[in-house]
Amino acid sequence: MVHRTLFGDEVELDPDVYPVQRAYDSESLVEARARVKAGRSAGIVCPCCDQLVKTYRRKLNLQMARALHWMSLAPAGEFRDMTRAPADIVRNREYSRLALWSLAESEPGRNHAGAKRGRWRLTHEGRLFVDGVIRVPEAVYVLNGEVVDVSRETVKITDVRGFHFMETWNA
């Protein structure tokens, strides 16, 4: 049996020494990538690594908008301890997903116990979004924690379903 290496060299393989059978002999890596990309929105098992590949749609929601508003009460650039946020914000931890839109960021480093600090702040874009200056994609599509696509629909903070800016501001 002859095998071609990555460098183009041909190597004779003894079938008794290399009894491994490749399950996807007929599919090239390019074809496998195309098939996975086409099926990742519904979910597909990768033919190369046998892991589930699925993109998840994450939409800006009320709790995210409330967390942005709470973070905006701090001076620009200052991190806020999210454990001190209102209970409903702390409980659901949706604020961590704001990083997918680049609206908020966590403080780098770890505390003395080795845990993440739990301190977050608005980015420049986050401040503009809270102030109603910019619109952001209504939803992002996430694969392995990375944004791979965004929705074409955009929203202002006042468009987020259930978020009433004046009620929150006056609370």
pTM, two decimals, is 0.70
Tokens linked to 114: 């080795």
The pairs formed by 31-40 with CB atoms below 8 angstroms and a separation of 24 or more are 40/143
The pLDDT value given to residue 147: 94
Instruction: Name the nearest CA neighbour of 126 among 65, 81, 171, 54.
Output: 65
10-residue mean pLDDT profile of the chain (171 residues): values are: 58 54 61 86 84 89 92 92 89 89 87 69 95 95 91 92 54 42
The pLDDT value given to residue 97: 93
d(CA 106, CA 121) in angstroms, rounded, equals: 7
